[in-house]
């Protein structure tokens, strides 16, 4: 038995249940990263089966292997460049005609392949009976039947995978494209014989060149003698197209579908197939002409309520636990710099982030549920007309919705948009969807400055403002920066599925880990940095001699009367110390710029540090105010803010508006950089959003004052 690790790539259509099968095989042993140079997510996992180590790569889901989208290019480049030992093609058995179209293209790549027919239960329910033996003989590759969401057939699939790896030969496969196209392929193949250093299979290369595949065509020009071949290809293409009366790539795609239809007719018995499925009946309600939109908004409303109302309960527990832990550390450490660093800097900072984990878990639970059930595609369907009005694609709705969770997956999710203009506009406006990291800031400020009865409305107004600005900016960017046609809206409406707990759990786990990694490292680093710049320099020159003043008070008054006076003095001293610290110096430096927005230097410090991650604003304020508040029993941050004269409900609202709009956090800027492959776009994103934030906060604060608000 071979001991070397075997690489297995999973390929398949979107919605073929590929990721479920990947999860079934690898369990939690997986890693999510990115393909080099592009931000298409690369999911890898490990499995040891019968002594054989398997490295599984979950390729992006695609319908075809043309160069139409990034996903398709990535999928086929993995197959060609990385040469996985085996490709497993997952097919939705209830939809074989379209799924086999991809299978044929994988077969044309002439790599070892196993076909896995998934959702065979659904197929049978729909009256489709598949004779897999016929398929096996016809295509010359192993065929396994399985039911991914019940974890049936996983062992058999792995068995087949391991067995196939021992085979050294496999049957070459080719499609008969018909006389005229075959003549063209022969002509191009002959021209290619003169080339050396070709990494693709010859026939495949000829086919792709004839299909006018941009990616393959460009790589041909890099080979010696490639341009001569390109000339021949051009001539053959024109000649054949004239003969066929159709563009060559279309004729070839049609030929593939005809081959598929022949195969399907041989081994699939769909005589019992029902026209209208369960999904269609569900859709009669969910995408109903009249009910569709209200139901959509209702579902969104429900999602938000689950996240924010249910999330509050465990949030309270975590808050208590963190506070208890801080108290415990305080009780066991001598007063001094170490205790201050641990309690105020580290525990306080990370704790304030941890408390929002429940909301984030619930949000991703909701999003995973929408995605896995298949409702997300319906959401795009009912929303497309509206999204188009702002120059976006219905599909843009999905990354924008993700933006409410975190702008990082939102920006990454925009890769599903094939049109560059659509993608760029979505990337630029998705940070305006208020992400969950901004929520801690809102809840803190709302609790401190607004009555419970209006809290919900205030929060809603912030989210609403974000959405409105996103629409406005999308229109502006579309018109001035990315004019041109939008991507065609051609989207599959997958059948509804009952999602598995496992895949939802994995989804939640993945996203929460992303958030916690930020919390664990970036936020911790930021907390310590903020603690440092708010506590140092240690020796500052005060405006008066506090020690002498304290001695004087103790001498003049009895103990009872001296206490409040001493406390006041302590607070004054701490405040002055903070004002003189590095943070205070910087805050004072930028104060003139942010003063028209109603902000003082403390908020300035918070906003600057919160570029690291928006929730840092809360931990910064916590640090600033616990430093500024020297009472024995530290008041909660809320009360401290409410007590600060620099704040008012209007200032708090202006601060929320600014937090909503200004520069996306570092993680998002980094993702924008990778997604656009240029520093220009993150720089632009930073500048435009910060400018917009300043203008909006200015309007809110100055306008509010004009009409007499405080």
Task: State the minimum distance, in angstroms, from the CB of residue 128 to other proteins.
Answer: 8
Pairing state between β 86-92 and 113-118: parallel
Contact code string over 448-487 relative to other proteins, x by CB under 8 A? ----------------------------------------
Q: Which of 170, 257, 536, 582 binds other proteins (CB under 8 A)?
A: 257
Task: State the minimum distance, in angstroms, from the CB of residue 217 to other proteins.
Answer: 14
Listing DSSP states for 182-238 in one string gives HHHHHHHHHHHTT--S--S-HHHHHHHHHTT-HHHHHHHHTSTTHHHHHHHHHHHHH
Task: Return d(Cα 205, Cα 203) in angstroms, integer.
Answer: 5
Task: State the minimum distance, in angstroms, from the CB of residue 648 to other proteins.
Answer: 43
Is 280 a binding residue for other proteins by CB under 8 A? The answer is: yes
For residues 98 and 13, the answer to whether their CB atoms sit within 8 Å is: yes
Beta bridge partners of 113: 87
Task: State the minimum distance, in angstroms, from the CB of residue 98 to other proteins.
Answer: 5
Task: State the minimum distance, in angstroms, from the CB of residue 76 to other proteins.
Answer: 14
Q: Which of 1, 4, 197, 275 binds other proteins (CB under 8 A)?
A: 275
Residues in Cβ contact with 408 at an 8 Å cutoff, skipping those fewer than 6 apart: 514, 667, 668, 671
Is 493 a binding residue for other proteins by CB under 8 A? The answer is: yes
**Tokens read off for 579:** 């004002």
Task: Return d(Cα 374, Cα 92) in angstroms, integer.
Answer: 14
**Tokens read off for 309:** 């109302």
Element housing 52 (H / E): strand 52-58
For residues 604 and 591, the answer to whether their CB atoms sit within 8 Å is: yes
Is 94 a binding residue for other proteins by CB under 8 A? The answer is: yes
Output the CA–CA distances (angstroms, integers) from residue 139 to 83, 143, 351, 368, in the order listed.
21, 9, 58, 36
Q: Which DSSP symbol is given to 43?
A: E
104 versus 432: smaller Cβ distance to other proteins: 104
**Tokens read off for 666:** 């570092």
Is 283 a binding residue for other proteins by CB under 8 A? The answer is: yes
Task: State the minimum distance, in angstroms, from the CB of residue 268 to other proteins.
Answer: 10
Task: State the minimum distance, in angstroms, from the CB of residue 289 to other proteins.
Answer: 5
Is 290 a binding residue for other proteins by CB under 8 A? The answer is: yes
Single out the residue of 458, 420, 459, 415 nearest to residue 436, CA to CA.
Answer: 459
Q: How many residues bind other proteins (CB under 8 A)?
A: 48
Task: Return the range that interacts with other proteins (CB under 8 A); candidates 246-254, 507-515, 656-664, 689-697.
Answer: 246-254
Task: Return d(Cα 219, Cα 205) in angstroms, integer.
Answer: 11
* Binders in 386-405 for other proteins, by CB under 8 A: 386, 388, 394
Is 98 a binding residue for other proteins by CB under 8 A? The answer is: yes
Is 126 a binding residue for other proteins by CB under 8 A? The answer is: yes
Is 292 a binding residue for other proteins by CB under 8 A? The answer is: yes
Single out the residue of 244, 10, 275 nearest to residue 116, CA to CA.
Answer: 10
Q: Which of 55, 223, 243, 253 binds other proteins (CB under 8 A)?
A: 253
* Binders in 127-156 for other proteins, by CB under 8 A: 128
Residues present in the chain in total: 710
Task: Return the range that interacts with other proteins (CB under 8 A); candidates 243-251, 501-509, 593-601, 673-681.
Answer: 243-251
Q: Which of 16, 20, 66, 659 binds other proteins (CB under 8 A)?
A: 66
Is 488 a binding residue for other proteins by CB under 8 A? The answer is: yes
C-alpha dihedral sign at 691, 695, 701, 702: positive
For residues 119 and 186, the answer to whether their CB atoms sit within 8 Å is: no
Q: Which of 110, 254, 319, 591 binds other proteins (CB under 8 A)?
A: 254
Task: Return d(Cα 91, Cα 112) in angstroms, integer.
Answer: 16
Tell me whether the omega of the peptide bond preceding residue 172 falls within 30 degrees of 0, making it cis.
no
Task: State the minimum distance, in angstroms, from the CB of residue 54 to other proteins.
Answer: 31
For residues 495 and 277, the answer to whether their CB atoms sit within 8 Å is: yes
384 versus 576: smaller Cβ distance to other proteins: 384
What's the longest Cα–Cα distance across the chain?
110
Task: Return the range that interacts with other proteins (CB under 8 A); candidates 80-88, 174-182, 271-279, 469-477.
Answer: 271-279
Is 331 a binding residue for other proteins by CB under 8 A? The answer is: no
Residue written as token pair 């073929």: 16
Contact code string over 350-389 relative to other proteins, x by CB under 8 A? ---------------------------x--xxx-xxx-x-
Task: State the minimum distance, in angstroms, from the CB of residue 468 to other proteins.
Answer: 19
Sequence-ordered alpha helix ranges (H) in 662-706: 666-676, 680-706
Contact code string over 26-65 relative to other proteins, x by CB under 8 A? -------------------------------------xx-
C-alpha dihedral sign at 537, 541, 544, 550: positive
Is 249 a binding residue for other proteins by CB under 8 A? The answer is: yes
Task: Return the range that interacts with other proteins (CB under 8 A); candidates 2-10, 192-200, 245-253, 617-625.
Answer: 245-253
Is 418 a binding residue for other proteins by CB under 8 A? The answer is: yes
Residues of the shown chain interacting with other proteins in the complex, contacts defined by CB under 8 A: 63-64, 66, 68, 94-95, 97-98, 101, 126, 128, 247, 249-250, 253-254, 257, 270, 273, 275-276, 279-280, 283, 287-290, 292-293, 377, 380-382, 384-386, 388, 394, 418, 488-495
């Amino acid at each position: 038995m071979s001991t070397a690790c075997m690489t297995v790539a999973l390929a398949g259509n979107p919605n073929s249940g590929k990721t479920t099968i990947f999860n079934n095989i690898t369990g939690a042993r997986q890693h999510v990263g990115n393909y080099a140079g592009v931000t298409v997510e690369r999911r890898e996992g490990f499995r040891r089966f019968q002594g054989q180590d398997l490295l599984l790569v979950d390729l992006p889901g695609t319908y075809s292997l043309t160069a139409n989208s990034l996903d398709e290019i990535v999928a086929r480049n993995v197959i060609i460049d990385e040469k996985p030992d085996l490709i497993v093609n997952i097919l939705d058995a209830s939809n074989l005609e379209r799924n086999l179209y991809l299978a044929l293209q994988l077969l044309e790549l002439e790599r070892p392949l196993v076909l896995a027919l998934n959702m065979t239960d659904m197929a049978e329910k729909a009256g489709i009976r598949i004779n897999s033996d016929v398929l096996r003989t016809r295509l010359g590759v192993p065929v396994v039947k399985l039911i991914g969401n019940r974890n049936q057939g996983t062992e058999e699939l792995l068995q087949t995978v391991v067995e196939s790896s021992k085979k050294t030969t496999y049957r070459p496969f080719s499609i008969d494209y018909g006389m005229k196209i075959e003549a063209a392929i022969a002509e191009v193949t002959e021209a290619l014989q003169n080339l050396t250093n070709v990494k693709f299979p010859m026939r495949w290369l000829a086919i792709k060149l004839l299909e006018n595949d941009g990616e393959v065509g460009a790589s041909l020009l890099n080979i010696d003698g490639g341009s001569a071949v390109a000339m021949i290809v051009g001539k053959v293409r024109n000649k054949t197209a004239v003969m066929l009366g159709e563009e060559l790539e279309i004729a070839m795609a049609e030929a593939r579908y005809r081959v598929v239809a022949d195969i399907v007719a041989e081994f699939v018995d769909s005589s019992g197939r029902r026209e209208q499925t369960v999904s269609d009946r569900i859709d009669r309600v969910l995408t109903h002409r009249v009910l569709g939109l209200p139901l959509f908004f209702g579902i969104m409303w429900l999602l938000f309520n689950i996240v924010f109302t249910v999330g509050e309960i465990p949030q309270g527990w975590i808050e208590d636990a963190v506070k208890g832990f801080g108290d415990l550390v305080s009780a066991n450490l001598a007063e001094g710099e170490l205790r201050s660093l641990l309690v105020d800097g580290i525990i306080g900072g990370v704790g304030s982030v941890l408390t929002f984990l429940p909301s984030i878990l619930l949000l991703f639970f909701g999003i995973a549920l929408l995605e896995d059930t298949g409702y997300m595609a319906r959401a795009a369907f009912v929303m497309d007309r509206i999204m188009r009005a702002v120059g976006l694609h219905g599909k843009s709705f999905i990354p924008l919705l993700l933006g409410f969770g975190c702008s990082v997956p939102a920006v990454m999710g925009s890769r599903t948009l094939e049109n560059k203009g659509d993608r760029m506009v979505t990337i630029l406006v998705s940070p305006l969807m208020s992400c969950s990291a901004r929520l801690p800031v809102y809840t803190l400020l709302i609790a401190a400055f607004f009555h419970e009865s209006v809290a919900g409305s205030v929060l809603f107004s912030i989210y609403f403002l974000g959405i409105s600005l996103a629409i406005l900016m999308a229109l502006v960017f579309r018109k001035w920066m990315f004019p041109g046609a939008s991507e065609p809206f051609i989207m599959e409406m997958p059948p509804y599925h009952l999602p598995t707990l496992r895949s939802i759990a994995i989804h939640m786990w993945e996203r929460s880990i992303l958030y916690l990694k930020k919390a664990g490292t970036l936020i911790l680093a930021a907390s310590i940095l903020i603690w440092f710049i708010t506590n140092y320099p240690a020796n500052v020159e005060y405006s008066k001699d506090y020690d002498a003043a304290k001695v004087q008070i103790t001498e003049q008054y009895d103990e009872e009367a001296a206490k409040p006076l001493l406390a006041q003095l302590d607070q004054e001293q701490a405040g002055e110390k903070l004002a003189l610290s590095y943070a205070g110096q910087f805050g004072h430096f930028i104060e003139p710029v942010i003063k028209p927005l109603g902000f003082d230097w403390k908020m300035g410090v918070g906003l600057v540090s919160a570029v690291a991650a928006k929730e840092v604003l809360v931990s910064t304020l916590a640090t600033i105010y616990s430093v500024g508040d020297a009472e024995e029993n530290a008041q909660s941050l809320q009360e401290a803010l409410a007590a600060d004269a620099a704040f008012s409900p209007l200032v708090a609202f202006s601060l929320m508006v600014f937090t909503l709009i200004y520069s996306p956090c570092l993680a998002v800027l980094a993702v924008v950089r990778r997604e656009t492959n240029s520093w220009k776009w993150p720089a632009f994103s930073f500048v435009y959003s910060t400018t917009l934030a300043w203008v909006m906060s200015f309007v809110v604060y100055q306008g509010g004052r004009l009409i007499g608000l405080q």
